[in-house]
Amino acid sequence: MQITDIADAMIVKRLLTILLDMGVVLVMTSNRPPWGLYEGGINRDAFLPFVDALNERMVVIGMGGTHDYREDRAAVVDDASTHLPRYLCPTVDLAHPSRGDVIDAWFARGGGETRIENVPVVMGRTIAVSRANDCCAIFDFRELCDRPLGAADYIAISSRYDTIIVENVPRLTGDIYDCARRFVVLVDAAYEARTRLIIDAAVPRNELFVGFDAEVTTNDGDEEIAVEVDGKHVVGVRGNEQSMVVGEGGSSSSSSTTFLRTKDGDGRVEWSATGRIGVSLAQLSAVREVSFSFKRAESRLGEMASSSWGR
């Protein structure tokens, strides 16, 4: 379960409430406990009764261990003389002439002639693939993650090809939030399909994902959203979450602008989910959820880098 906005929250609330009332046995997994779902989201009060219902009507089992079992598989070191590496970056010492040669070798394993393909997606849509063969496709990062693509597109691509190569992957930070969000969805789709994901990145894997948080600039005086502290800085309070808010004037609704900042607080960039400057607090939970999901994506990429992984 992943709940990132009030629409998600209300749909899940209605669906699961009906299923529980019908006596359906539900088994669910989540990276968060029930009381952590949609944490910090706008209008979360409307969702809290459902959280109480989950706690009352279901047995909640906390998997409190800290061991990442994917790391056990990721710890298997590939023999570069027999296995092609799956994560490439300038600082990796490869027993191959160049990263380009490694990518060419992976692509050649797909078999067949290089061609352009249109991969069918749900609802009658297709996605154009400019470099493909029988079992492999090559994409530039911007082709996949800087276009209006979503889970359905990535599922279709992952189902069609045994191997997906993504070139020119940058360090994923808050200043390219939308691209980072799509990349996480791509990793999830490839992981579920057991499709090999070959990454050609600018930085090592342990430096690829940069944690960030969100802060909101507001001057609307909405006490539900923000409470003035000293005339300049205010703190938005939502459940157990606190949003750092800086009193600097606002945005799309003439009231608020969302900023992203790194976890260590050494940088801040203005952000909008629509590509326009200025968004409301409604996007705040989704921004934080992407940063939260980085840990899962990093763990999955580690497992996917092992030579035994894939279909």
Kindly write down the DSSP assignment for every residue of 36-77, as one continuous string: GTTTT-TTGGGTHHHHHHHHHHS----------HHHHHHTS-
Give the pLDDT confidence score for residue 108 in this predicted structure.
96
Under 8 Å between Cβ of 156 and 269: no
Give the pLDDT confidence score for residue 219 in this predicted structure.
47
Q: What is the CATH number of domain 83-209+291-304?
A: 3.40.50
Cα–Cα distance for residue pair 177/262, rounded to 1 Å: 12
pLDDT in tens, 28-54: 888 788 888 887 777 788 888 888 888
Buried residues in 206-234 as b, exposed as e (16+ CB within 10 A): eebbbebbbbbbbbeeeeebbeeeeeeeb
Whole-model pTM: value is 0.71
Considering 167-171, 249-253, 256-260, the range whose residues carry the highest mean pLDDT is 167-171
Confidence of residue 282 (pLDDT cuts 50, 70, 90): low
Going from N- to C-terminal start, the domains of the chain cover 6-57, 83-209+291-304, 212-290
The one-character DSSP state at 297 is: H
pLDDT in tens, 74-86: 655 544 445 788 9
- Higher-confidence residue: 256 or 138? 138
Confidence of residue 110 (pLDDT cuts 50, 70, 90): very high
Give the pLDDT confidence score for residue 45 in this predicted structure.
84
Q: In what order do the strands lie in the sheet with 227-228?
A: 227-228, 233-238, 241-246, 212-218, 256-262, 268-271
